[in-house]
Amino acid sequence: MEHGYIKVAAVSPKVRVADPKYNGEVIIQQAKEAALQGACVIVFPELSITGYSCGDLFLQELLLREAKNELFVIAEQTADVQALLFVGLPLEYGGKLYNTAAVLYKGTVLGIIPKTFLPNYAEFYEARHFSKGMKKTVPVTLREGVTVPMGTNQMFVCETIPNLRIAAEVCEDLWSPNPPSIGHALAGANLIVNLSASDEVTGKDVYRRGLVTGQSARLICGYLYANASDGESTQDVVYAGQSMIAENGVILKESARFVNETIVSEIDVDKLAGERRRMSTFEAIDASDYTVSSFSLDCSRTELSRFVDPAPFVPKDKAGRDKRCEEILAIQAMGLKKRLEHTGCQCAVVGISGGLDSTLALLVTARAFDLLGIAREQILAVTMPGFGTTDRTYENAVHLIQKLGADLREISICDAVHVHFQDIRQDPHMHDVTYENSQARERTQILMDIANMQGGMVIGTGDMSELALGWATYNGDHMSMYGVNASVPKTLVRHLVRYFADTCGDEGLTEVLLDVLDTPVSPELLPPKEGRISQKTEDIVGPYELHDFFLYYILRFGFAPAKVWRLAQKAFAGAYEDETILKWLKVFYRRFFSQQFKRSCLPDGPKVGSVAVSPRGDLRMPSDASVRIWMDEVERLEVQAGIE
């Protein structure tokens, strides 16, 4: 359970209709098998002890009696299972019959949750047999000496994992306009379990998946859905399974249909708690009318089976990636279009280095000008060769500008920077930070002055990853009048340029873009070695794929270093050694905290995703915050890992 991960299981057993003894044996066996996989919350389908499709047999006293007896057999036989179990059975109370979920824990029945909404249409006639469940709990005597609460308003709270609070609903409850899970979540539950018996008809799987993902997103919760499968009566309908484990709108695991299957994954309850803290519209309600039952779980480390994406900003499949790229390019271009319209600018000035970021900025600017109906010749694309410029990047910059139809301006900065070195008494042979930053500031001065001359606007090229690391020269490439790439991470910049190359329909432009993509990332501020780039950014600050991964989990979810490292270990297994990941995680925290002052005066730019560093809304972080407690945790991780 370390770091908030709770392993859960949804089981679709092969039942026999109206055979509680057989079904109980299957439930016991599969509960133990799920527990061996580490599951500590295990859910079975609706009416799993009897089978859902018993029809009028639910009115038979013998079936009801045997179902209740089998409930206690299951409880006794799973007393050594370190998990909370949810099983379904018909239960009589007060002369009425209810479709219920029983909650078992270490041999005891903690509570009974009745179904609220009963379908009474087509092939389902539950109202013929069952009554609508009560909200407020009532005491129900299951047998002599065993009285438990029965009602929908119940919460099962883990004493050893305070962020784990579980509630339940039954099948059709989720389909209703006002599912009980809404109240459960607002009362504090962050894991909703659903015992279901949803039949299969064409297209229903898509709708069912949408319900589960949508509810988990709306309620910011984990949703554990166990559906009936093979074994139920096929007299009129077929039950095909499709159990699901969802977390805040994402399906973590889904069973195949038309088979009996157990699915297991992990719900991150700490992440859910953090998301609810962020969501100002998630307003808790008075939970005083809820009956709370406590249980405890072993807090040992949970092995993660869930997929951890090493590139969280980039969709995995090509179709999704292309859609994301088109959407982001549209957002960037529309943001710049509005700014140009508002200011009345008919001219944009962009510094082009032949690298990825400036290439993307020029592509976006060209799109914005097309939207405005302004000729691309009004884009002043300036290439400014310096001490580190190579023939490759220079030629790519020139060809890119020409292919896009912008106005090419070439201004060497070498002479101006040498004069500046004389003015400030800088030794030109001293390749220090002054040597580098003087070039960056000279370039920005040129761009700003040209913009003044032409009544134009300087378009910023720096991306979010550079801003997070402070990898920008203050009042140099750090400054512009509108930063179109300000919330685009470096790992996504590459895909945006590639998408443009694939879709532009211009063979010559595609060729240039592909070579830009193949060029090492570099500020080119140090002299080349044998005509090649001598200064590679990732050799200095670390791999951007690691830093973007850190950035996503630190800013999007507020995870601590130990959890970020654990996720990175899984995501980059085989690609980076633990020592390497920790090294760059340490660099990330040090640079992220020390460089906030650069982000505090960031120019305007469009937000394109859920993570951004704008000081006006997304990251209101003090420039003088101490990094001490974060570095302390990283250093403890180094000690634990035996890394010096």
* pLDDT at residue 124 tops 70: no
CA 211 – CA 227 distance, rounded (Å): 14
CA 531 – CA 493 distance, rounded (Å): 26
> pLDDT value at position 609?
94
* pLDDT at residue 398 tops 80: yes
> What six digits make up the tokens of 287?
């939970």
Place of tokens 């799993």: 48
Give one DSSP letter per residue of 220-247, joined into a string.
Answer: TSEEEEEE--BTB--SS--B-B--EEEE
List the beta bridge partners of residue 194.
169, 225
CA 92 – CA 63 distance, rounded (Å): 11
Centre a 10 Å sphere on the Cβ of residue 233 and count the other Cβ atoms it contains. Answer: 16
> What six digits make up the tokens of 120?
């009474």
Distances (CA, A) of 613 to 293, 467, 619, 620: 42, 8, 5, 8
Instruction: Report whether 266 contacts 252 (CB < 8 A).
Output: yes
- Rounded to an integer, the average pLDDT of 609-633 is 95
Contacts of 621 (CB under 8 A, 6+ apart): 596, 599, 615
Contacts of 611 (CB under 8 A, 6+ apart): 313, 464, 487, 489, 551, 552, 555, 556, 618
φ, ψ of residue 56 to 5 degrees: the values are: -70, -5
Smallest CA-to-CA distance from 314 within 613, 585, 548 is with 548
> pLDDT value at position 298?
81
Smallest CA-to-CA distance from 516 within 417, 609, 394 is with 394
Q: In 178-231, at which residue ranges do the beta strands (DSSP E only) sit? A: 191-196, 222-227
Smallest CA-to-CA distance from 34 within 8, 57, 15 is with 8
- Rounded to an integer, the average pLDDT of 250-275 is 95
Per-residue pLDDT tens digits for 553-593: 999 999 999 999 999 999 999 999 999 999 999 999 999 99
With cut-offs at 50, 70 and 90, classify the pLDDT of residue 283: confident
- Rounded to an integer, the average pLDDT of 466-483 is 95
Smallest CA-to-CA distance from 334 within 376, 377, 372, 375 is with 372
Question: Would you say how long the chain is, in residues?
Answer: 644
Residues classed as catalytic = 46, 115, 171
* pLDDT at residue 122 tops 70: no
Smallest CA-to-CA distance from 283 within 224, 222, 223, 220 is with 220
CA 169 – CA 626 distance, rounded (Å): 46
> What six digits make up the tokens of 394?
């220079």
> pLDDT value at position 123?
61
- Rounded to an integer, the average pLDDT of 211-226 is 98
- Rounded to an integer, the average pLDDT of 179-189 is 97
Smallest CA-to-CA distance from 627 within 568, 574, 587, 600 is with 587
Per-residue pLDDT tens digits for 496-535: 999 999 999 999 999 999 999 999 887 777 888 877 776 7
Instruction: Report whether 114 contacts 134 (CB < 8 A).
Output: yes
Per-residue pLDDT tens digits for 92-115: 999 999 999 999 999 999 999 999
Per-residue pLDDT tens digits for 29-69: 999 999 999 999 999 999 999 999 999 999 999 999 999 99
Task: Please state the separation of Cα 95 from the chain's center in Å.
Answer: 48
Please, what is the average pLDDT of the chain? Answer: 94
Exposed, middle or buried, 69 (CB in 10 Å: 0-12/13-18/19+)? middle
> What six digits make up the tokens of 590?
């040090």
* pLDDT at residue 389 tops 80: yes
CA 124 – CA 235 distance, rounded (Å): 12
CA angle 204, 208, 209 (to 5 degrees): 120
Place of tokens 């000729």: 375
Contacts of 445 (CB under 8 A, 6+ apart): none
